[in-house]
Amino acid sequence: MSVDLAYGRNRGPGRTVALVVTALLAVGAMVVTVGWSDARRWWDAQPRTAVVPDDDGVATIGDVAFRLSSFERLASIDTGFEIWQAPAGTQLWRVETEVVAQGEEASACDLELLTADGRVFTRSDQAPAADVASWSFYCGYDEEDGPTQIVDFLLPADAEPVQVRIYSQFDTLPRYWAFDVDA
């Protein structure tokens, strides 16, 4: 019995190129399919469409509307137990928003500050003296909390806030409420 050892050998460069191209296309299709769905989910979850206030200072998405009541730099925070001072090399900012109109169902919202150099400060950058309950709030309000939300942020001394953003990861993205501010 004889065995043809040449059968498994290369039958020319065309076959090798075809196999490599087919393998690359299969791997590429798999990466694009899996990667595209992940990229699409990420893209859909990013706040990228600013809704700015009208002439009355009210920004509206759907049936929820906000007004930026106050944006100010603070020297300290009165926690009710002590006067808390910002550490050296930092600055303290207070953001106060008011819900002007709310939908039938309120959802959790987050608030963040955007600086002139493009840095974004989120609720994790809140002043340590801040009330933990204010880390996120409802896009809308109940009778107990009322329409006003106050959030204090601790920023580096070189940060120059230029915009306050409010968004809901569950309802409004990619749209978000955007209020330009002067530092």
Give pLDDT, residue 15: 72
> SS3 for 57?
coil
120-121/148-156 β-pairing:
unpaired
Give me 133's structure tokens.
């309950």
pLDDT of res. 63 = 80
Give the pLDDT confidence score for residue 134 in this predicted structure: 47
Give the pLDDT mean for 26-40: 66
More reliable by pLDDT, 172 or 21: 21
3-class SS at 139?
coil
pLDDT band at 132 (very low <50, low <70, confident <90, very high): very low
Separation between Cα atoms, residue 60 and residue 139, nearest integer Å: 11
pLDDT for res 126:
65
Cα 122 from Cα 127, distance rounded (Å): 11
Give the DSSP letter string of 59-94. Answer: EEETTEEEEEEEEEEESEEE-SS-EEEPPTTEEEEE
Cα–Cα distance, 66 to 107 (Å, whole number): 14
Instruction: Domain 50-180: state its class.
Output: mainly beta
- pTM of structure: 0.69
pLDDT at 51 over 80: yes
User: Is the predicted pLDDT of residue 59 greater than 80, yes or no?
Assistant: yes
Alpha helices for the chain (secondary structure H): 13-44
Residue 56 has pLDDT above 90, yes or no: yes
Determine contact, residues 68/75, Cβ cutoff 8 Å: no
Q: Higher-confidence residue: 70 or 124? A: 70
Residue 33: what pLDDT?
Answer: 67
